[in-house]
Amino acid sequence: MRKPDVMLNGISMDGLGWLREGINFPAPQSQSNTIVVPGRNSPIRYTEALGRVSYQPRTFDITLSCLKYREDFNRMADEIINRFAGRLVNVSLSEKPALYCVGTLEITPGYDPLTHKGQLAISSTDGDAYRYHTTETVVIQNGNGTAVLTNDFMPAVPTVTVPDETTLKWQVGTDRFIKTVSAGTWTFPELELSQGENEIEVTTGGMVTFRYREGRL
């Protein structure tokens, strides 16, 4: 059975001699804003004011430990603190290596001289609500046709790279969009991918590349 591990910016803490002793990654809470209006039996809820739920920053806690003499613990702790404390860091777990969280880390060391056990308490209170896919999604449409962009739960806006003049057509709800662009890399805020399959009609003489990063809670 694989030992539980945590990676900070892709660096294995197990590989540096740390044991992942505890972890708490709760789901982020929604931004639930309400207004109570006299005479109404139900409050006005703004949770989905923008057409979808918005979420508060993600909080998480990780506890690392090791059995070392104090000098060795201090050296190991200093290495982690100097590299990651107060910095925005990508955090991933060995159980879900295809996803990572982003948050500013605060690190508190502690040492028990009786047991020679050292600990690092790592926490974040400003993490992004979504966990991101480690691998960017790339969809290539060669010539005219319909590109199908499959997306996870988080809305995503792809970058579109075209080799020559290209026309893109797509629909969001009841709204239809048409964009004709010259060669280059483009981003269209209107081209927001929802969960599931998103179809984009492409008219081009070359190869069109869509790139985006998926995410989920």
Domain coordinates of the chain in residue numbers?
6-133, 137-216
CATH architecture designation of domain 137-216: Sandwich (2.60)
Query: Quick one: pLDDT at residue 173?
Result: 82
What would the pLDDT profile of 132-188 be if each residue is shown by its tens digit?
Answer: 999 999 999 999 999 999 999 999 999 999 999 999 999 988 889 999 999 999 999
Query: Quick one: pLDDT at residue 197?
Result: 96
Gap between the Cα atoms of 32 and 74, Å rounded: 43
Exposed e or buried b per residue across 185-198, where buried means at least 16 C-beta atoms within 10 angstroms of its C-beta: ebeeeebebeeeeb
Could you please state the CATH topology (level 3) that the domain comprising 6-133 is classified under: Elongation Factor Tu (Ef-tu); domain 3 (2.40.30)
Q: Model-level pTM?
A: 0.86
Gap between the Cα atoms of 177 and 172, Å rounded: 8
